[in-house]
């Protein structure tokens, strides 16, 4: 996270441990997440110009990550943050992955991670692995979430979504 350098990605300033806890110091995002804004003021979703802006800025972040060999693996409204000036930043790299393990570019990943409603079918199936395209699926689900105020199938429990 500390090596990430893009205006649309939330950067970590530093990290440290205190006892058994890991603390990561990041900029304060006063606007909160798009999910928080939807839940508090836009239950039926945002208007199209707002969605277009949020998606454009988030896509810039994903393009940067992919160009540097990373998959985010958890793109969703809850991970799109706004600062006090309205700048859009993609956050939460807790499940991101690098496609450069052991120095060579991997063709695919096989780990089952992410949030089920946003998870691409190939991630859920775990048959042949997945690559950057899994983020494209999540990005599309995020577009629906921003437009409707919720992700498809979000009213169901995670196990039912996977089925």
Question: What six digits make up the tokens of 74?
Answer: 């958890």
In-domain check, residue 2: no
In-domain check, residue 18: no
Q: To the nearest 10°, report the CA torsion of 70, 46, 151, 69.
A: 0
Q: pTM of the predicted model, to two decimals?
A: 0.81
| CATH code: domain of residue 87 | 1.10.510.10
In-domain check, residue 62: yes
Report which of residues 110 and 8 the model is more confident about. Answer: 8
Domain count, the chain: 1
In-domain check, residue 9: no
Dist. CA 85–CA 63, nearest whole Å: 23
Catalytic residues: 74
Q: Report, in this order, helix, strand and coil percent for the chain, each rounded to 5.
A: 40, 15, 45
Report which of residues 72 and 160 the model is more confident about. Answer: 72
pLDDT for the residue 96: 44
In-domain check, residue 1: no
- Residues 124-149, mean pLDDT to the nearest whole number: 88
Q: To the nearest 10°, report the CA torsion of 137, 114, 50, 149.
A: 100
Give me the DSSP letters along 54-100.
HHHHHHHHHHHHHHTTEE----SGGGEEE-TT--EEE---TT-EES-
Domain that includes residue 153, residue range:
29-162
Per residue in 92-135, pLDDT tens? 765 444 444 444 444 554 444 457 788 877 777 776 778 888 89
């Amino acid at each position: 996270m500390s090596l990430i350098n893009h205006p649309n990605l939330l950067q970590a300033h530093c990290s440290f441990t205190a006892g058994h806890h890991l603390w990561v110091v990041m900029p304060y995002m006063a606007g909160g997440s798009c999910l928080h804004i939807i839940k508090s003021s836009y239950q039926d979703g945002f208007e199209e110009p707002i969605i277009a802006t949020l998606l454009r800025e988030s896509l810039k972040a994903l393009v940067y990550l992919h160009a540097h060999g990373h998959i985010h693996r958890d793109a969703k409204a809850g991970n799109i943050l706004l600062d006090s000036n309205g700048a859009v930043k993609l956050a939460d790299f807790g499940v991101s992955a690098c496609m450069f393990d052991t120095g060579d570019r991997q063709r695919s990943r096989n780990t089952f991670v992410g949030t089920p409603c946003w998870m691409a079918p190939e991630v859920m199936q775990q048959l042949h692995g997945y690559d950057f395209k899994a983020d494209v699926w999540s990005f599309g689900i995020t577009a629906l979430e921003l437009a409707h105020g919720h992700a498809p199938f979000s009213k169901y429990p995670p196990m039912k979504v996977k089925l």
